Structure 1
Amino acid sequence: MSFTTLNLLLLILLLIWFWRDSLQVREIATRISKRACESHDVQFLDQTVALRRLRLRWLRSGLKFRRLYEFDYSLEGSGRLTGYIIMLGSHTELLQIEIPETSHSELLH
């Protein structure tokens, strides 16, 4: 096997790993966002989250992907508000849902 073929194979394996990891983290973020909406008595819309930013972050435990997802929710079934969840690796770093009645943002860690 030539060096070029080996590099191409490694690149393909890396892309497959990244794709699978991204799907898994998105599922976790969706589940956490949905539970947060339920606990605040708001409706989780579209049943999914959308990736808005992807960055790398160095930690003591090594290199991790930091992903910012957005999701939509509704207070009373009309109108759309946007919430955010930041995932560091497969762990939640921050979840933000703004509830206007309280006139401030609920920040959950």
Structure 2
Amino acid sequence: MSELSDLILLVLLLGIVGSWLKLARGREQATQEARLQCRQHGLQLLDESVGLRGLRLLRQHGQLLLERCYTFEVSIDGNDREPGKLWLIGSSLSGLSLPTIQSHLPGLLSEHVPPPAHDNVVPLRPRLRKDNTLH
């Protein structure tokens, strides 16, 4: 009986090691994809690393697929830290979330923002009553 329990324990241990190696390979793929996306969007990948945030089963075209979510931090101008996320199915990118670059460029946006009003009262047009007289 001990031989059977030893065999089950060995198979379980091999399964855990195999899963760990597969997730480590997936993390390397996610790091490469994060580098590529940061380079394409003009961002700096901080710490040169990603972290596994979650796993979920996804059904596409009748197949169950495992989708992995990784988080990482990026910098727009070298003085900030912003969160980013990417989702992978296998080795292909299925989703990406990066910070909005425009929200961090106040010099470029300030010329499009109207100057503040001197008071907070908004003038309203007079309304007509049903009998066509003004309120």
One fold, TM greater than 0.5? Answer: yes
Offset at residue 92 of structure 1 (A): 1.9
Structure number with the higher strand fraction is 1
Provide TM-score, normalisation by structure 2: 0.66
- The residue type paired with residue 14 of structure 1 is G
CA–CA distance in structure 1, aligned partners of residues 20 and 95 of structure 2? 23
Asked if the contact 2:76/2:101 (under 8 Å) is kept, the reply is no
Does 2:78 correspond to 1:77? yes
Identity of aligned residues (%): 31
Offset at residue 4 of structure 1 (A): 1.0
Structure 1 SS opposite 2:42? coil
Offset at residue 39 of structure 1 (A): 0.9
Task: Decide whether aligned partners of structure 1 residues 91 and 72 sit closer, same or farther in structure 2, where only a CA change above 3 A counts.
Answer: same
Task: Decide whether aligned partners of structure 1 residues 33 and 53 sit closer, same or farther in structure 2, where only a CA change above 3 A counts.
Answer: same
CA–CA distance in structure 2, aligned partners of residues 79 and 4 of structure 1? 54
Instruction: Tell me which residue corresponds to 1:40.
Output: 41
Q: Which structure 2 residues correspond to residues 11-90 of structure 1 after superposition, within 5 A?
A: 11-57=12-58, 64-90=65-91
Task: Decide whether aligned partners of structure 1 residues 56 and 17 sit closer, same or farther in structure 2, where only a CA change above 3 A counts.
Answer: farther
CA–CA distance in structure 2, aligned partners of residues 19 and 58 of structure 1? 23
**Residue range with higher mean Cα deviation, 39-48 or 93-102:** 93-102
Work out which structure has the larger RCO, using CA pairs closer than 8 Å and 6 or more positions apart in sequence. Answer: 1
Task: Decide whether aligned partners of structure 1 residues 61 and 22 sit closer, same or farther in structure 2, where only a CA change above 3 A counts.
Answer: farther
Instruction: Tell me which residue corresponds to 1:107.
Output: none
Instruction: Tell me which residue corresponds to 2:96.
Output: 95
Q: Alpha carbon RMSD of aligned pairs, Å?
A: 2.3
Provide TM-score, normalisation by structure 1: 0.81
Offset at residue 15 of structure 1 (A): 0.6
Structure 2 SS opposite 1:99? coil
- The residue type paired with residue 74 of structure 2 is Y
Highest CA radius of gyration, 1 or 2? 2
CA–CA distance in structure 2, aligned partners of residues 37 and 25 of structure 1? 18
